[in-house]
Amino acid sequence: MTDLGPIKVSGLSYSYGRKVALEDVSIAVRPGRFTALLGANGAGKTTLVSLLCGLLASQRGTIEILGFDAARNLRAALRETGVVFQQQTLDLDLTVQQNMTYFAALRGLSGGRATERIQACVSRMGLDGREGEKVRRLNGGHRRRLEIARALLHQPSFLILDEPTVGLDVEARAALVDHVHALCRQEGVALLWATHLVDEVWLDDDLIVLDAGRVRAAGPVSEVLAAQGCPDVLSAFRKIAGMSGTNASVEAEA
């Protein structure tokens, strides 16, 4: 993987007290590419996501988002970043439109510009006609779509999704993965998709394998598979985790 991508993380480390969560992590995410951050539970994915969006401050290393150093200019970096958290963050008592309007206001968008963007994003995520519905009435898959629509509202160049398929049934999960892959290609957005499910990683994606807080492999999926001499992502992950001695496991749901 090139290290000249617009999103660059170099030598990033983070500890919770004595517990090391990330150790010397260096990654890059390229525009228009679906980059899967694959790791077992506890590998450090959510810590990395929290650092990328400024919820945690890095203790060592640097994060650069489209030329903005996140430590020095977090606000400029956040302007270019959209995030979908693992935990759902919608206001269930508000409608689709109200949730979007609130988020638009947090980004300083209002009036015609906000209305236009809300309509475009809701439509882009296939939620047309549901603007007046309370979020509580949406199913899990549609709530996730709404969160992605919300994250796209300010037209970010970098989109982070932290285990966005958690809690979805197989069908909704597959539909969401398809939808986001298409979105990434069509919008040209640099996309980081944190997951522990190998079947969400496609052969033409970029892959970062995170295990016990360290990057064990990174690059286009085909190159990682070739380097490991494995036919698929699951066996490559098992081999990598086995070599590192952690024997962490990921899932291959059908």
- Provide the binding-site residues for other proteins, judged by CB under 8 A: 16, 46-47, 50, 53-57, 75-76, 78-79, 81, 83, 85, 87-91, 93-94, 98, 101-110
3-state secondary structure of 134: strand
Nearer to other proteins, 98 or 235 (CB): 98
Minimum CB–partner distance for residue 242 and other proteins (Å) = 28
Nearer to other proteins, 122 or 225 (CB): 122
Other C-beta atoms closer than 10 Å to the C-beta of 35 total 26
Minimum CB–partner distance for residue 87 and other proteins (Å) = 4
Nearer to other proteins, 44 or 141 (CB): 44
Minimum CB–partner distance for residue 230 and other proteins (Å) = 32
Other C-beta atoms closer than 10 Å to the C-beta of 93 total 10
Nearer to other proteins, 115 or 235 (CB): 115
CB 65 within 8 A of CB 6: yes
Minimum CB–partner distance for residue 213 and other proteins (Å) = 13
- In this structure, what token pair is assigned to residue 211? 């295990």
Minimum CB–partner distance for residue 181 and other proteins (Å) = 24
The DSSP element (H or E) to which 60 belongs, if any, is: strand 60-65
CA distance 122 to 225: 37
Nearer to other proteins, 9 or 221 (CB): 9
CA distance 94 to 138: 11
For helices 140-152 and 96-106, what crossing angle results, to 10°?
Answer: 30
